[in-house]
Structure 1
Amino acid sequence: MVVKPLPPIAGRGAPANPCPTRTGSPDREADGDWLDGAAEIDGDAPPLRTTVTVEHPKTIIARNSSPDIGFDRSINPYRGCEHGCIYCFARPTHAFHDLSPGLDFESRLFAKPGAAALLRRELAKRGYKPAPLAIGTNTDGYQPIEREWRITRQVIEVLAETRHPLLITTKSDRLLRDIDLLARMARDDLVGVAVSVTTLDPALARTLEPRAPHPRRRLAAIRALIDAGVPTQVNISPIIPAITDPEIEAIMAAAAEAGAIRASYILLRLPFEVAPLFRAWLAAHYPDRADKVMHIVQDIRGGRDNDPDFFSRMKGRGVWAQLIRTRVRRAARAHGLDGGFPPIRCDLFRPPERDGQMELF
């Protein structure tokens, strides 16, 4: 799939809105739709607004058996993500709705307001065995619409009530609105947080992840969480060769100053439609080094744009991957960010009431 870029849209990350092809939907041609019609047909496009569709799933806990991640269950309060990060590996999931992984992914969102009730029901099932439940692994639970919908908070309220272990990954300081719940859970070793910091350069951040909070606000969130007793690490994710990798050491230093207890990283992943979208973004913002970036990416990914294999998909392989791995390890060691994460307790779980009654045993 070749992505034809649109003129830059302020506050949006994707340079185009290509239609899904894996689901059998044909590519659209200009038909008067303002997103893909030519200016001479439609005139100036109206502002691109965020819309939210209510979704009513039957279950809310997603299970996985991936051997290279540290959890087997997660919750996604939302589909799509208004942060608009061009590199987001979750973009292709919008194709299953016959929506574009491009601008649709960051502007046509889905919310699950029944998530907390579904979670309560699933935790109350006989035989449920607790294990760390992750939020923010697909789309960010603290994206801008959480301000009004508060679905992530409602989910955490259930987890706090039942003393269920929780892992959070976010690139937003909006999670500080829930610091009361997180601090309470942290006192019982029930929660761990990872705050993603991709770059310290605000100009780069505005194009790379246009609706995510400023990098300095994320570092301030790390400090606030640590001060509240919530174990928090920095996640340098993704590392983009020749774009953000020069900042590895600086991000480590800033995270250590903010009080982070450890650091992790993931190399850029470009599954399915993300690859052509990222190529178009490079052509628009970094034409001087676009070929170099993709050459390194393909070297890391065994000659392809993406490597889906377990373990290597996160860290890559080859000389460039080893070089970045060495730099990360040295910087983490230099700043005291190479330790382990405190264990999350799973033995305090107490099931919620089932049909209005508590368990006898």
Structure 2
Amino acid sequence: MLIGDELKTIYLNYRIKEIVPFLIKLTPKEKKETAVILKKYLNKDWGYNHVSMLATLACSSTQDEYEKWAPGYYAAPIHLIDELFESYVPEWIGNSYPFLRNIDYLKVLEWQQKGYLKLNDEVCANLLSESLASDYTSEELRITIENKEISAEAPLLDHLFNSYHGVYDQYLIRILYTAPYFSGSVFAKKYNETLSNAVYQYDSRTNTEFLDAWMKLDLPFQPVHYLFLSAAMFSKDKTFSGTAFEAIIHKIVSDDFDIETLGIMIGENINFGLVPVKRLTDGISGFIGLNSSHNRAFEKLLISILTAINHPVFNLKKILEIYYELLHLNQSPTDDAVIGKLKEWENENNLKKMIIKLKTNERKIV
């Protein structure tokens, strides 16, 4: 069957499931032929539908050509565009605001992360401006996004993170994906306004989405990231705290992950009685023995936690037991700083046996 006849059959019978496979198999020459057919029949014999929109998207050789023939009010089904983009993406797509404005903003960011497109600054700013429904122009947003060395007094940041303005969680996540160098401010706002608020402790979905974003983005670590993570580990919501421990598993062996900073924050929270030890020990116990790299990382984490605890706390024995188990797995000697703490706690009856084990621990030679 000729290309034109096959396209007409799909269009006239609305065989929507056949259009993407048809478009994928077209050669560059056949796409040009298809474009000629679309120009001939659209707005004359044919009306617009999902078949014609997908064909126009796949066969337009330039942005101008697409925008001339595709009505701005009509969008194709996202799942079919996804299917098409797995095999073919027009080179101009990242510059086409009329096309992208009909797509959910997070979907556009997903396509960008997959390498399907690269948004130019103007389109990115326009999409972000619409997404946030802010009073700022796309030019103001574009300039702000381009400037990675942004002062704390920058108008956009002042608007977004001032306590007198509301920025919903989903918008914070969008900002995080679009301008990850704002991540410190974004995580601080999330921590201060939601995570530290008991009302939101059970808001599992949005809190988990934040951790998912943190895991997906290759962000330079900042102290506020560890603050957020340490609080998440002790959340009353088991789904959220479980996700936090998964995030630690994902990140803790990274070269730029500061295990000591996280451990000190956890230890200080335990020291002041702000969090229950059992939630920590239950979480870590489930991941001991994954591999040697994680075992060594968790040993370092527990060293930092223990050295930040200044007095015996409830369930301290359980932390020491896990630490001893890791020493055994890693064939490591007891850390000198931990030994110093053990001397301070040696009069605690429930800790004496474990303290003796740790003090006499020696490296095993395989």
Common fold, TM-score beyond 0.5? no
Using CA pairs below 8 Å that are at least 6 residues apart, which structure has the higher relative contact order? 1
The alignment's TM-score, normalised by the length of structure 2, stands at 0.29
- Structure with bigger helix share is 2
TM-score for both structures, normalised by structure 1? 0.29
Bigger fraction of residues in strand: 1
Between structure 1 and structure 2, the one with the greater Rg is 2
